[in-house]
Amino acid sequence: MSALFSPYQLGRLAMSNRIVVSPMCQYVAEDGRATSWHLVHLGGLAASGAAALVIEATAVEAAGRITPGDLGLWDATTEAALRPVVSAIRGVSGIKVILQLGHAGRKASSDAPWDGGRQLVPAVGGWTPSAPSALPHEETELPPIALDRRGMLRIRDAFVASAVRAVSLGVDGLELHAGHGYLLHQFLSPLANQRTDRYGGSLDNRMRFPLEVFDAVREALPLAMPLGIKLSATDWIDGGWDLDQSVTLARELKRRGVDWISVSSGGISPKQNIVAGPGYQVPFARRIGIDAGVTTIAVGLITEPRQADDIIASGAADFVALARAMLYDPRWAWHAAAALGATVEAPRPYWRAAPAAHAQLFHNTRFGSR
């Protein structure tokens, strides 16, 4: 049996294979509201054959958006806009639906990537971001406002409120975004966090706020709902957040009941020096999984079926998550199953799509029984 297509547990979720569709920001929401784009985009990926689909980073407050086009879940209006998207996924697929919650911190108020991704100042429709310290992401940007305790509590409570809304939407699990240079990562990294209170300085202090957010969300969720987190394992800068610190944080998260850690890297500073290549972040997932004893999801330039299968078979990670590869080939899991001699789930209207050489590609499920 292909390791990539073997069943496994993600928290209490029974997963039919080890493939996850990564959360991918689309930057086309309207004031935080999901649109027809999200319905079509996520609906298509729901039939990808992956075991789980993670909805893009969803802002817990309007000021926490990376761009004005970010998806949000901070009020009844944004919740109502996302509800038909989740319902549509449920109507066409048995895929597990996970929603990622995030706050951009000092990387908020930016243009969309295709418009340059530059900071938007208030005079041109942006807003003033907040962060652990009044340090801009780039030296040419306006500095953010350093959060006081009241602001930190507001954001913590916003994570909780959005998590409760996600439960109401009927998603299967949640993931907190603590990587890629966004707010929770900013608290972790000494490159962005130069506070002198109990939330800055030592590793324990820098971990304090992200752990407070995790604990508050975990307490607000039903006991059976899994909760994971996305980390940047290293800043790729000397003196920044690194793999050893990530292992320490992962151990703390395990003690608090984390169900998985999605292991990425970078994003805290444009000065990062990333050495990229196929599967370049997989060793980080291996180290965190082994040393902290947690379920891990490997990400980053995983594009080929046998590459993904080897990652799972070798024990380097428990799951692989694909982003750009899924956009380029939304049926990547089908093609991987064909290449590895495995079977995959598909809606019945698609059964005739399998070539004659792979006539048994689709296996029996609620949404795909012969």
Collapse the DSSP code of 276 into the 3-class scheme (helix H, G, I; strand E, B; otherwise coil) and give the result. Answer: coil
Q: What's the pLDDT score for residue 369?
A: 36
Is pLDDT above 70 for 370? no
DSSP class of residue 201 equals: S
Q: Which of 8-12, 103-107, 345-349 has the lowest mean pLDDT?
A: 345-349
Give CA–CA dist 70/31, Å, rounded.
Answer: 8
Give CA–CA dist 24/39, Å, rounded.
Answer: 14
Q: What's the pLDDT score for residue 368?
A: 39
Q: What's the pLDDT score for residue 346?
A: 85
Q: What's the pLDDT score for residue 43?
A: 94
pLDDT digits (tens, 9 = 90+) for 117-141: 999 999 999 999 999 999 999 999 9
Is pLDDT above 50 for 365? no
Q: What's the pLDDT score for residue 240?
A: 97
pLDDT digits (tens, 9 = 90+) for 11-32: 999 999 999 999 999 999 999 9
Give CA–CA dist 64/114, Å, rounded.
Answer: 20
Phi first, then psi, for residue 337 (nearest 5°) are -65, -40
Q: What's the pLDDT score for residue 362?
A: 83
**pLDDT top residue among 343 and 135:** 135
Collapse the DSSP code of 100 into the 3-class scheme (helix H, G, I; strand E, B; otherwise coil) and give the result. Answer: strand
Q: What's the pLDDT score for residue 363?
A: 66
Q: What's the pLDDT score for residue 349?
A: 83
Give CA–CA dist 153/148, Å, rounded.
Answer: 9
pLDDT digits (tens, 9 = 90+) for 291-315: 999 999 999 999 999 999 999 999 9
pLDDT digits (tens, 9 = 90+) for 168-196: 999 999 999 999 999 999 999 999 999 99
- Helix 36-46, helix 76-92: angle, nearest 10: 30
Question: What is the average pLDDT score of the chain?
Answer: 95
Q: What domains are defined for the chain?
A: 3-343 (3.20.20.70)
357 confidence band (pLDDT: 50, 70, 90): confident
367 confidence band (pLDDT: 50, 70, 90): very low
Q: What's the pLDDT score for residue 366?
A: 45
Q: What is the mean pLDDT of residues 51-64?
A: 98
Q: What's the pLDDT score for residue 351?
A: 80
- Helix 243-255, helix 282-292: angle, nearest 10: 50
Give the catalytic positions in this structure. Answer: 182
Report yes or no: 307 and 314 within 8 Å, Cβ to Cβ.
no
pLDDT digits (tens, 9 = 90+) for 182-235: 999 999 999 999 999 999 999 999 999 999 999 999 999 999 999 999 999 999
353 confidence band (pLDDT: 50, 70, 90): confident
Q: What's the pLDDT score for residue 345?
A: 87
Is pLDDT above 60 for 246? yes
**Residue among 173, 166, 20 at smallest CA distance from 85:** 166
* pTM passes above 0.85: yes
